[in-house]
Structure formats: structure tokens, C-alpha cells
């Protein structure tokens, strides 16, 4: 009699082959969660300034200078006054230099020894000083008529110094006339130096406050 076949035993699963670590792709690192910074610890940022720095000028461009107005006519008239005064006193200085020789020749050297040379030398010295100041004043007046700034400065100096000198001469002349009773000579001195005082006062005021007009540009 045939014997029954033996019962089949369940087959064992095949074991997985070993995995090579070098063939496994790298896994990304887990993201680290950053804790937000509290607002109190954040330093305050400065607010943007509303002023914007002007853009630099393009090369070759020059900013135009502020244009001053032309020299006024009244200032040119003041320069004319200075020139006329300079011409007058220049003639006076020249007359003193030339007249020194005449005065020296009329002095009696035998009666007044040494005084002829002294008087002649004094007249020549005074004449040269007057001549130099008058030439500078003449050039100042011409420069002022052409609107030169240096002429304005010198004109103000002349107006201050010689205007004050004219005033002193007028006051002293009136004082001497009141003490001596001589009014003819005093009146002439007052008129002569009074005219100088008026002209120098005009130059002083105009050169200070009316030198240039407003620009029309």
C-alpha cells in the first residue's frame, strides 16, 4: 500500500541582501527652528533723513557767480569830486615847490643867515607832501569813476580824514575870528574849507550806501 506524501513545511523567506552604505543618498538635516527675537531686544533703527545730499555738478559746469549791479552815477560823481580836489591841491603843492626857490631868492641871506635855506627847504617839503597826497587822490577819483573797489576804499579814507580836517579848520577859524574880531579872513576860510567838507561828506555817504545799484539779471 502506497504511503501518503509527507506534509510540506512552509518555506522560510529569503533574507535581504546587505545594503552598501555608500550607495544610500544623504538625507537632508532636519530644519532647526529659530526662536523669534523679542522686539524689546532689537535696537531701534534710525529713521531715514529727509535731507538728500545734492547731486554733484556735472564735469565742466561752473556755478555762475552772483552778479552785482553797476556802479551808480552818484558814486561816479563822487569820484569826480575827488579828482577835482586832487587836481586843485596838486597845483597848490606844485606852486609851493616852485615858489620855494623864489622865496629863498628874496630873503636877505646876510641879514638872516641860514633862514633862506630853512624856509626854502620847508616849503619844498610841504609842497612835495601835498603833491603826493593830491596825486593819490586824483587817481582815487579816476578809479572811482570807473567803479574800482580799491578806489572806493581809498575814497572813504580820504573823505573821513580830510573831511574831519576841514571841520576842525572851520571850527578853529570861527573861534579865532570871535577872539580877534577879524571876520574877513575867517569867512574866506569857512567858505573854502566848508566847500571841502560838503564834498567829502557827499563822497562818504555815497560810497558807503550808494556805491552799486541792484542787479537787473
- The answer to whether residue 19 scores a pLDDT higher than 60 is no
The mean per-residue pLDDT over the stretch 17-36 comes to 58
Confidence at residue 171, expressed as pLDDT on a 0 to 100 scale: 87
pLDDT of 102 reads 77
Considering the entire predicted model, what is its pTM? Answer: 0.63
Q: Coil, strand or helix: which one is 214?
A: coil
Q: Is the pLDDT of residue 107 over 80?
A: no
CB of 86 within 8 A of CB of 138? yes
**pLDDT, position 78:** 95
Cα–Cα distance for residue pair 189/209, rounded to 1 Å: 30
pLDDT at 199: 96
Alpha helices (H) in the chain, listed in sequence order? 73-106, 115-145, 149-180, 184-209
Determine what percent of the chain is predicted with pLDDT higher than 90.
40
Rounded to whole angstroms, the Cα distance separating 9 from 201 reads 144
Please give the mean pLDDT across all residues of the chain: 76
10 Å Cβ neighbour count for 28?
A: 6
| Residue, of 217 and 83, whose pLDDT is higher | 83
Exposed/middle/buried for 146, CB within 10 Å: 0-12, 13-18, 19+?
Answer: exposed
Amino acid at each position: 500500500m502506497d504511503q501518503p506524501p509527507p506534509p510540506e513545511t512552509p518555506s522560510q523567506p529569503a533574507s535581504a541582501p546587505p545594503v552598501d552604505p555608500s550607495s544610500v543618498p544623504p538625507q537632508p538635516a532636519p530644519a532647526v527652528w529659530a526662536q523669534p527675537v523679542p522686539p524689546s531686544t532689537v535696537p531701534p533703527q534710525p529713521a531715514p533723513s529727509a535731507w538728500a545730499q545734492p547731486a554733484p555738478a556735472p564735469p565742466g559746469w561752473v556755478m555762475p557767480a552772483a552778479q552785482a549791479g553797476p556802479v551808480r552815477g552818484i558814486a561816479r560823481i563822487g569820484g569826480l569830486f575827488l579828482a577835482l580836489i586832487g587836481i586843485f591841491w596838486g597845483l597848490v603843492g606844485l606852486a609851493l615847490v616852485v615858489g620855494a626857490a623864489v622865496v629863498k631868492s628874496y630873503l636877505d641871506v646876510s641879514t638872516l643867515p641860514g633862514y633862506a635855506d630853512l624856509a626854502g627847504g620847508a616849503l619844498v617839503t610841504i609842497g612835495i607832501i601835498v603833491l603826493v597826497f593830491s596825486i593819490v587822490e586824483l587817481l582815487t577819483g579816476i578809479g572811482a569813476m570807473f567803479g574800482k573797489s580799491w578806489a572806493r576804499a581809498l575814497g572813504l579814507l580820504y573823505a573821513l580824514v580830510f573831511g574831519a580836517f576841514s571841520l576842525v579848520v572851520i571850527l578853529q577859524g570861527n573861534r579865532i575870528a570871535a577872539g580877534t574880531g577879524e571876520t574877513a579872513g575867517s569867512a574866506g576860510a569857512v567858505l573854502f574849507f566848508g566847500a571841502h567838507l560838503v564834498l567829502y561828506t557827499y563822497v562818504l555817504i555815497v560810497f558807503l550806501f550808494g556805491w552799486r545799484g541792484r542787479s537787473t539779471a
